[in-house]
Structure 1
Amino acid sequence: MRIAFFAWEYPPRLVGGLGTYAEYITREYVRLGHDVAVFTMNNGGLKTSEVVHGVSVHRPLGVDFSDLLKVISDGELRSWGGQLRFFSSIMVNDILCCAKLANQLTRAEGVKFDMACVHDWMGAMAAPTLKGELSLPVVFHVHSTEWGRSGGRGSKAVGDIEYLGATTADDIVTVSYAMKEDLAGHGWPAEKIHVVWNGIDPDTYGPSKAVPREVEALRKRYGIADGQKMILFVGRLNWVKGIMNLVQAMPAVLKEHPEAKLVILGTGGEENDIRSLVSRLGLEKSVACRFEFVSEKERILHYAASDLCVFPSLYEPFGIVSLEAMAMEKPIVVGASGVSGLKEQVVNSGPERTGVHVDGNSPADIAWGILEALRDEGRMKAWGQAARKRVLEYFTWDKAARETLSIYEGLLHGRR
């Protein structure tokens, strides 16, 4: 197949998990013998067209239409204020990408695409044009939703765009069964919705990939001695990730493990709130905050240095960081309430157990989950080994790509 792939982020421009997904899944499509053209954003300093690992990448240079949008848009979009420029950049990029695909690649150069896939609301704006201009079959990939990210207080315009994508697309692919249930519960056409779990590269993420002396140096950097427990959180510092509740759980954890240390690695809007909470609870010696976007190598070192990884998300359709930790043979505590793909990754009972499910809304329950894990060091090691085994069986990019391509092929051949 020749696939047009619309995603607003793609390396080297990475914002969140979608960029990582787009990078790895498109490489897999190419490895499996398909042609892929990615249409994505340009921050002004990137090549407008290039081939990366066999993937053709198109990044049109945009222009700012936000002043015009202020005039022609309704009150809800106007209320975005300075953020309206972000909305404008997404809309203009989709228009330019559709124009390049339709006018230059297809009509002028004669390149025939078999289908298109669009990702989240940023790509969903392209769906009607792709179908109208080129009559392409379209698959809408949903990694999260506006109502989920905002706790039901998000943008009506973005929600309407998501629903437009759902009704325009021929098929919908989402990342967990929890998400499928949530989408159907919001009136999306359930018969269109398929589930494909995301993946991880187990050759990149594995215990052997971290140099022991570098791991030891990292632990010393955080003041963690041999025998002391390092609890690690990695991710975007946003309310949906439950970091504030995790910090509030630490006093209860420290009562039983006074030597334990929580390391928070990530960036986001809650940085100041986290600093304030750590200070208010007197946890300066027990919580280390690293508010940086670090390289993949350093992230792997953090996983290797940790004893336990905790991701107490309140809303997490999937969550790739937990897979990274599992591939590194780390036991996991995850938020399993609400819409949670994490509970589909982490087994919390039986012989194949890999960690603990908790209510991410409850600091007390998060503390209980951490203490339950720390109670038996040998058991934690067994959980970590089972975690990597589970990743190898269910959560590789090869598996994710093959399952997704099967859905595409079923659409093209008229079967669901």
Structure 2
Amino acid sequence: MKTKYKFRELSGEGKLFVNNIFSSFNQKKIGYVVLRGYEQLPNAISNDIDLGIVKRDKNISLDQIYKAANNSNFKLIQFNEKYNFLQLIFTSNAIIDVIKIDIWTELDYKGLRFAHLEKIINNFIEYRGIKIAKPLHELEVTLTKELLHNGILKKDKFSLFREKLKNVDINITQSCLISHISNMIQEILKTRSYQSLNSNKLIRLFFFFYLKKNVFNTIILFSKYLFYQIKFSISKKGKFIVFIGPDGSGKTTISEYLLDKSFFIETIYKKKKYFHGRYSFLPDLKVFLKRNNNIFKDEKYDFTLKINDHLKKNKIGKLRTNIYLLYYLFDFLLGNFFLFFVRRTNTILIADRFWYDFFIQKYYLKHFKIFKFLYKNLLSKPDYLFFLKSNPEVIKSRKNELSFEEIKYQQQSIEKLIIQNYLCENVYIISSSEEIENTIKKVLDLIF
């Protein structure tokens, strides 16, 4: 039967991984079914692999998935747990495949069960050696989940459901859903327009049914769900990555590639964000300076000078320098709130430079030492920081903005910050002298 699911062909290792999962499940007699998107398994997958697993078999099933990953050269790169739901994301060590596995141990909406998962599992049918749900169960569960969780049924999904309906006898009374909801679904499936599917009516019917059935139990279930939701909402799900190095080291090029061209970033993260230097909640301080707005331009300095001579010749006084650092400290503190919330969504955030830039340039040599302490201890640190180190001649050939002396000074300053532990836990020094594709591959290997 043809469907409108979009399938992605897997590599040899990917096929081995998926095949090993189901082989071990069958061998260990784990109670499971693939709920949807099974048509081309194990050779290709749609967006993810949707598994329903009996709650008592959850731990052993995870063990088997991890073993299959290890035997197929895959590694776990993301693990999310909600109420009765797990999401695992694996990538191959060669960074060719990304495989998402969604696991339900109960089929519920806000803690209230809308389908009897164990009944569905006990009434499985076999497809290419894989246990799948019966067509009626697949249809009802998928449609109900779409409406309850997403609130709408997209046009392409509705066409798919109508096609599947041709092979299902909707008059079968042995439904896996509550009879009220089942009857409603059977009625709305007969319509010609997907827009007539009333998800709000379904949700109201669903809640009132449970409240009438058992008010006390409904409150307990919803409270458990609420607890898990709060726990999940405050957990970190995103990634914050920073690239540092002198101008010409490849920061912007690599950032743009990861955000615009990386298949893995696109597959794993729903949102992508980027900023250069700082968040810019506050306007640039130079806007408020009526005199000499260009005081930080490179022509003010002779970068060939030694540090002590440079300080003597530096036209920026200590007061002016520290006003800048104090002002931008407030800007970064405001950004801490932004980072807190963004990192708790499925978002990858990439920064080209960060507050570290203040302490690797000669512009800010006259800062009070307290600022280094404040920036380090008050501001958020990235999950990964990459120092793109290269031969000064290579950097200057890419971007002829800094002298050799300044490039060396900035690279030495970054290494000093690393030694002093002023950056973050996951700091990697990567040579960016070679082809940019090789540097990008090293970055992806370390992130995933």
TM-score (norm. length: structure 1): 0.22
Structure label with greater radius of gyration: 2
